[in-house]
């Protein structure tokens, strides 16, 4: 139906009555009963100007991810955090009020928020009176470069940082966060798209997304209440991000792996041509089954190229030990064994819609290191895989001019031998993004040192062969598999 990265048109949406409008509600399908089960008052959002001003004042006071890290470090124990906030500076007051949920006096709140009457925040539903003090009805957590609203005591779920790091951050006309929760990824996407939409079934969560849009001054973010992708049926998006509930447990009516599989297929169908999707997933593996095999079946015949990423896997006992209460572990283990689960795996699927030609699927294991922003690296992965698919023969690859992608480093281990030092092993390691590493031999190191973005691979292998007094053809045949692997992982790229 759509040939480009479109978003729902305003004719299909009902705008909220307050202005400026930062959120809309789709005209179908809707939850027929109230889904707000929270004991906390839901922000009314009736004073959008006050909420936008609150976001501006929070950032100005240093209430950012870096500001909190500098003030309280990585500690998350509320008692320790409270002990570290030794004065009543504006930032400390705001941390106590909106991060720790500790009531503060009206005067302290007013001092910390110059020019903003706290009574306006009470009327807007983000503060409430508790005796003579004020208490936040939401928890505001700085994530990346946005403020995200959560229920008091709640925060980002497991996998949030991974998904944010995997998301492609190029400009898109439209972006969608499915199963949005409180909308972190929609908020981030709104920074680099013309319009972002978050779909969430829980009514309070939708209100929190709209609050986040106001706090961050994002008038291009719409929050839609509804199940799955039904509220956006018939529309396509340049970027789709999803973090579905992915704990496989015995108490759910529908298995988490089934939900993940169906969501991946539905998302693939909503992608615009050339668009990207990032989905966190869980799946079950049988005895001896390769970890990527089930995911290949999920993405085949979707019209998308796919990169499958393994985060980790556990046997039934190990998985239950991570997720279940101690007394429930036997029940969880029994449940997983009834599913014939040898292991339960978690990871991510990255899709790119490409309708022309034969789609390809690649799989990689994520390194057990801190993962930084990897969107650019993943785009390069898709570009490089397209290149390799178009160069099936060695002779074609040898004619390519490549460049080294920085920053990366070579790590070497040398051993003392009777004859002197001997190179025992070496690895090339990317210093950004996914931080992949790959083993390299002495000739691959020589090649990486000589790649200059000007000369063909054939010329580089000839030069190394002359210097090493080796046969040029034999060296090229031995070295090209390493070149292909370096291209797959993003260490090399076609010279522009």
Q: Residue 154: which residues within 8 A CB-CB, separation 6 or more?
A: 139
Per-residue pLDDT at 51: 97
Tokens of 154: 């709640």
Domain 394-494 = CATH 1.10.10: yes
Helix (H, G, I), strand (E, B) or coil at 41: coil
Name beta bridge partners: 225.
200
Per-residue pLDDT at 82: 78
Per-residue pLDDT at 76: 66
CA count, 13 A, side-chain hemisphere, 68 = 24
pLDDT by 10s per residue, the chain, length 496: 343 333 332 222 222 222 222 222 222 222 222 333 456 778 888 899 999 999 999 999 999 999 988 887 776 677 777 777 878 899 999 999 999 999 999 999 999 999 999 999 999 999 999 999 999 999 999 998 999 999 998 999 999 999 999 999 999 999 999 999 999 999 999 999 999 999 999 999 999 999 999 999 999 999 999 998 999 999 999 999 999 999 999 998 889 999 999 999 999 999 999 999 999 999 999 999 999 999 999 999 999 999 999 999 999 999 999 999 999 999 999 999 999 999 999 999 999 999 999 999 999 999 988 889 999 999 999 999 999 999 989 999 999 999 999 999 999 999 998 888 888 899 999 998 999 999 999 899 999 999 999 999 999 999 999 999 999 999 999 999 999 999 999 999 999 8
Per-residue DSSP letters for 336-349? HHHTT-SEEEEEEE
- What is the distance of C-alpha 263 from the center of its chain? 16
Location of structure tokens 């705008």: 15
Q: What is the Cα gyration radius of the chain? A: 26
Per-residue pLDDT at 5: 35
Whether the CB-CB separation of 193 and 257 falls below 8 Å is answered with no
What is the architecture of the domain spanning 152-373? 3-Layer(aba) Sandwich (3.40)
DSSP structure class, residue 156: P
- The phi, psi pair for 180, rounded to 5°, reads -80, -20
Tokens of 235: 């529309």
Whether the CB-CB separation of 427 and 410 falls below 8 Å is answered with yes
Tokens of 285: 């593996």
320-323 long-range contacts (CB < 8 A, ≥24 apart) are 323/247, 323/249
361-365 and 304-314 beta bridge pairing: parallel
Name beta bridge partners: 322.
none
Name beta bridge partners: 425.
413
Q: How far apart are CA 205 and CA 198, in angstroms?
A: 10
Per-residue pLDDT at 42: 83
420-430 and 408-417 beta bridge pairing: antiparallel
Name beta bridge partners: 281.
347
Whole-prediction pTM = 0.88
What are the start and end residues of each CATH 3.40.50.150 domain in the chain? 152-373
Whether the CB-CB separation of 447 and 479 falls below 8 Å is answered with yes
Q: How far apart are the first and last CA of the chain?
A: 35
Name beta bridge partners: 127.
136
Q: How far apart are CA 425 and CA 411, in angstroms?
A: 8
Per-residue pLDDT at 71: 83
What are the start and end residues of each CATH 1.10.10 domain in the chain? 394-494
Per-residue pLDDT at 27: 26
- Can the peptide bond before residue 492 be classed as cis, meaning omega within 30 degrees of 0? no
């Amino acid at each position: 139906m759509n040939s480009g990265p479109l978003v729902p048109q305003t004719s299909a949406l009902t705008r909220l009555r307050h202005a400026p409008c930062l959120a809309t509600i789709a005209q179908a399908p809707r939850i027929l009963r109230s889904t707000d089960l929270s004991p906390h008052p839901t922000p009314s959002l009736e004073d959008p100007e006050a909420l936008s001003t609150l976001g501006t004042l929070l950032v100005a006071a240093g209430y950012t991810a870096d500001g909190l890290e500098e003030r309280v470090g990585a500690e998350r124990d509320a008692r320790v955090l409270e002990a570290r906030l030794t004065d009543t500076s504006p930032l400390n007051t705001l941390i106590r009020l909106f991060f720790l949920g500790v009531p503060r006096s009206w005067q302290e709140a007013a001092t910390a928020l110059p020019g903003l009457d706290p009574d306006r925040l009470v009327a807007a539903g983000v503060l409430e009176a508790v005796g003579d003090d004020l208490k936040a009805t939401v928890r505001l957590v700085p994530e990346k470069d946005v403020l995200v609203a959560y229920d008091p005591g709640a925060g980002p779920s497991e996998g949030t940082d991974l998904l944010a790091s995997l998301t492609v951050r190029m400009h898109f006309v439209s972006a969608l966060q499915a199963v949005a929760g409180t909308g972190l990824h929609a908020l981030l996407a709104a920074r680099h798209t013309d319009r972002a939409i978050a779909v969430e079934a829980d009514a309070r969560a939708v209100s929190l997304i709209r609050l986040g849009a106001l706090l961050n001054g994002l008038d291009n973010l719409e929050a839609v209440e509804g199940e799955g992708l039904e509220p956006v049926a018939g529309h396509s998006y340049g970027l789709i991000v999803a973090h579905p509930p992915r704990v496989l447990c015995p108490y759910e009516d529908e298995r988490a792996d089934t939900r993940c599989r169906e969501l991946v297929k539905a998302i693939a169908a909503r992608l615009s041509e050339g668009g990207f999707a990032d989905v966190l997933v869980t799946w079950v593996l049988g005895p001896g089954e390769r970890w990527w095999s089930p995911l290949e079946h999920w993405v085949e015949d979707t019209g998308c190229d796919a990169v499958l990423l393994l985060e980790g896997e556990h046997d039934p006992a190990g998985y239950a030990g991570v997720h279940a209460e101690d007394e429930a572990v036997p029940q969880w283990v029994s449940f997983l064994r009834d599913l014939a689960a040898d292991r339960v795996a978690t990871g991510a699927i990255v899709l790119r819609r490409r309708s022309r030609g034969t789609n390809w699927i690649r799989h990689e294991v994520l390194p057990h290191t801190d993962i930084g922003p990897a969107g650019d690296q993943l785009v390069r992965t898709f570009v490089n895989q397209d290149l390799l698919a178009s160069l099936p023969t060695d002779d074609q690859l040898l004619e390519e001019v490549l460049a080294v992608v920085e920053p990366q480093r070579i790590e070497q281990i040398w051993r003392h031998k009777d004859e002197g030092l001997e190179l025992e092993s070496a690895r090339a390691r990317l210093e950004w993004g996914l931080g992949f590493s790959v083993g390299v031999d002495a000739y691959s190191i020589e090649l990486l040192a000589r790649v200059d973005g000007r000369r063909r691979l054939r010329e580089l292998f000839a030069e190394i062969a002359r210097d090493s007094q080796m046969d040029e053809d034999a060296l090229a045949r031995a070295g090209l598999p390493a070149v292909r692997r370096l291209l797959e992982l993003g260490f090399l790229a076609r010279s522009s």
